[in-house]
A and B are shown apart, each in its own frame.
Chain A
């Protein structure tokens, strides 16, 4: 069963309990401002953050755990893995540090230990170990306002649509994460536009790995096609040379 998180932006009061709980559960150290920090509050030591938007809206940012994650598809050594319960988890033992996942993520989530000599990729893992133990993620558990809740993805989607239906005018009629980039396991409903969470404008619904797959599918054709073209070329040219040689020989003999 695919698990998910639903965050209701209208309910969040920005108390940062989730950030605190996340730090404690995942043993993250206190944050020090760094030159490589992006201004969204996420860092190698902050796997979730609260972004404040004008008009006192608080938006929690975290890994979206896409249903078809770009990071998983690009990792050359398979250090990132989408589990069956929905979490995208990271195996630091496999990672070789190419940072392709950071480049590929449409939400700009993964962070890097730039200051470490043995650096790793840092991102939310949906408290994978806790879910396996039957608990819920630390962030949803700690939320005093139940602004961010945990459950089955299907049930949460239903709940999201129900809330939008029951409070007409309160929410924008859209569940973020329902379909963009193929759907994500972290859903949002909100009274403000949340497209700032991803790069640029509204993400298309096509999963990002699909952008690469045509080129990747063409690989064997390109490989053997080029081989065939080269073999054919060399055969034709060889034959032509042979023919012209014979011809010149013949001409030579007739001259004699």
Chain B
């Protein structure tokens, strides 16, 4: 089994999947791709990519150990470490392009300055440090050709100051990434928030960088089936023990000194998260590597480094989004968020493999056995016709892997539901047993009496004309439950009745059916045929009725049938119309009540008659209290 080749295939598969999601991100926006929301605007992406930067710290740590402290043992790791750092930072920048809302403005940081912002500092450091890494790496590809020998020589001459600058810049931004969160003392759960986050980030980055290098060395040897002869991994692990110990002390010290010990045992899922993170990122790898005998064991090295890396990743993801306290909106990353992040890493891994196979980055230049295997195409012996290739080439297989998974990705991306279902449900206070409501809508000492039972009675015994009955579609269609959705028991602003779902505006006319929104992929994401019958002319009349999808919008169907008359009155007007329109009609139909439509017929001033004993008519009272409840009518619930 060819491990190199299979690894590459897997990486190409993930890359293909991620490419489809990347497309989705740019065509449909962040909302369609991520589960981020107004409460948690930073999430998995930010946290995960912060950990990439931390795990790239090996670049500057090995630089310091090798160039500054002259530990020659680490020579074979230097190039690998710097390449890892370079790819880590590049992945960080690439993933920013997907995460930023307006990535084409990313260069604005160069011209618009805000030195107060930690992010500004991080941005500049990352820009400068990536440049430094390029300068550190450039001599490697230049080795293969003598044409640029002068450039190479020039770069090598300045190697020491370049490495020094790299270390200084890394110190800054590794810690400044923690500074980003200093401004959120009340947003982060107190266990995760600390005034020394920058220091914690710096220390954990050093530990993470060392563990990452150890893990990489193990993985490379496994992949290319090389025997690990040096004790470099052991050295790295035993070196990280010191840092892990220090990290643990700093973290526990902070918890104790800030008086947060109680929170550790709080039992909430965030406290478990913190304890778990502490175990993974410090305690477990520390214990595994602190015993010299264990530290030299290959299996322990594999497990310890993986756990340590996982711990650093978990720490960054927690602080980046999961440790939000009391979020009213739950955030779990969408599968697209996760796959896109991993896809960027896969691409980086592919670049890494390509570079170590092409240039002298590692102590040897490994070969992909599959890539070298060249088999000539088959030809028919007699006719000379091409019979095909006996083996598809590596390139073809990689391309196939990418294309197939890209296609699968495109198929998996269906329009994510972006609209919430209606509005929050609140129990409606029903009008049970009430005969006469005195409604003081404007709290201005005027009121309107609404004899409830009488209205129902008039309707039933035909005292109200059939003309009116048609116009009050609302009452008729909602039947006996009509009281439940009655405006008069809602306070303004309360979204209790379904009225609000269409009469979205309090005072102005609204377009209650938004065709663009229904058709838009970021809205209801419907296809034409979902509402319009195929083959027929697409008009409002032939379209599917509103109730087909919204069973509760019983009266919307009648409103929509007036061709393009989708404009409906404001909430206030609609509610007034409930009474006024009928009263207007009735005043014309009924000969004996010509004044029925006059405002003063219903609007009265003063204290309402029939006020129950003990009740006060106080205009300063909140409105619901001003709905007077006289004697209940027997037999009515």
Chain A positions near chain B (C-beta within 8 angstroms): 13-17, 19-20, 23-24, 30-39, 42-43, 50, 52, 55-56, 58, 70, 73-79, 94-100, 102-104, 106, 108, 111-120, 198-200, 203, 208-209, 211-213, 215-216, 219, 222-224, 226-227, 230-231, 233-234, 237-238, 241
Contacts and interface: CB of A to CB of B under 8 A. Distances in A.
Contacts of A219: 121, 172, 176
Nearest to B25: A117
A112 B101 contact: yes
A50 to B, nearest CB: 5
Contacts of B106: 96
A96 B102 contact: yes
Contact of B26 (A117, A233, A237): A117
Nearest to A206: B185
Interface stretch (B12-20, B78-86, B325-333): B325-333
B419 A33 contact: yes
Contact of A212 (B105, B182, B328, B493): B182
B325 A199 contact: yes
Nearest to A234: B68
Contacts of B195: 211
A215 B355 CA distance: 38
B109 A77 contact: yes
Interface string B102-121: 11011011001111111111
Interface string B521-534: 01100000000000
Given A32-B514, A32-B523, 5 more contacts: A30-B514, A76-B123, A77-B105, A114-B418, A116-B29
B424 interface: yes
19 contacts: A14-B492, A17-B506, A30-B514, A33-B423, A34-B418, A43-B38, A50-B493, A56-B491, A73-B114, A76-B123, A95-B105, A96-B109, A102-B38, A112-B38, A114-B30, A114-B31, A209-B116, A216-B115, A226-B171
Contact of A230 (B39, B115, B167, B517): B167
Nearest to B186: A199
B511 A30 contact: yes
Contacts of B108: 77, 94, 96
B347 interface: no
Given A76-B109, A120-B101, A39 B328 contact: yes
A13 B180 CA distance: 41
A99 B121 CA distance: 16
B270 to A, nearest CB: 14
Q: Looking at B67, B113, B507, B522, which has the most chain A CB atoms within 10 Å of its CB? A: B507
B39 A215 contact: no
Contacts of B421: 33
A222 B29 contact: no
A24 B505 CA distance: 11
Contact of B38 (A31, A36, A215): A36
B491 A14 contact: yes
A105 B180 CA distance: 13
B31 A223 contact: no
B455 interface: no
Contact of A200 (B117, B186, B328, B329): B186
A17 to B, nearest CB: 7
Given A103-B187, A230-B64, A37 B420 contact: yes
A117 B67 CA distance: 47
Interface string B17-54: 00000000011111110001111011000000000000
Most A-side CB within 10 Å, residue of B69, B114, B523: B114
Contacts of B508: 20, 24
Given A14-B491, A222-B172, A114 B36 contact: yes
Contacts of B172: 219, 222-223
Contact of A14 (B179, B418, B419, B493): B493
Contact of B27 (A39, A117, A119): A117
Contacts of B180: 100
Contacts of A43: 38
B105 A216 contact: no
B492 to A, nearest CB: 5
The 7 closest A-B pairs by CB, nearest first: A97-B101, A114-B31, A56-B622, A36-B37, A96-B105, A76-B120, A33-B420
B422 interface: yes
A74 B118 contact: yes
A165 B358 CA distance: 80
Given A77-B108, A102-B41, A96 B103 contact: yes
A113 to B, nearest CB: 8
B506 A20 contact: yes
Contacts of B178: 215
B100 interface: yes
